[in-house]
Amino acid sequence: MVDWVKQQFQFVLEIVTRAKQQKGFVLLPKRWIVERTLAWLGWNRILSKEYEHLAQTSESDVYIASIRMMLRRLDRRQTIPNF
């Protein structure tokens, strides 16, 4: 999978796992970034239900939700006056 991601998207995929001897909750590096992003995307109703039959349609819904989230952030930054 690491090679496929590098070939298709020119990204370096790093798989982070916890040590086998550790039990219970273990804080993994960068995991909070993924969980936070998935939580933000989960606020969109279109992504909270499985309505779509095609993977391409679901992918488009994720793009739309991400664009909506970025636009909201940009709008908030523009309304703050610069002093």
pLDDT digits (tens, 9 = 90+) for 2-35: 899 999 999 898 887 788 888 888 777 777 888 8
The answer to whether 46 and 67 are in contact (CB under 8 A) is: no
- Is 32 a domain residue? yes
The neighbour count for residue 32, using CB atoms within 10 Å, is 10
The domain total for the chain is 1
Q: What is the mean pLDDT of the chain?
A: 81
Secondary-structure breakdown of the chain: helix, strand, coil percentages, each rounded to the nearest 5:
60, 0, 40
**Mean predicted confidence (pLDDT) in 39-62:** 81
Q: What is the pLDDT of residue 83?
A: 44
DSSP state, residue 77: H
pLDDT digits (tens, 9 = 90+) for 54-73: 888 888 888 988 888 888 88
- Is 15 a domain residue? no
pTM (two decimals): 0.55
- Is 76 a domain residue? yes
Nearest CA to 67 out of 44, 48, 33 is that of 44
Place of tokens 């992003």: 37
Domain, as residue range, for 69: 27-83
Nearest CA to 30 out of 6, 43, 13, 9 is that of 13
- Is 6 a domain residue? no
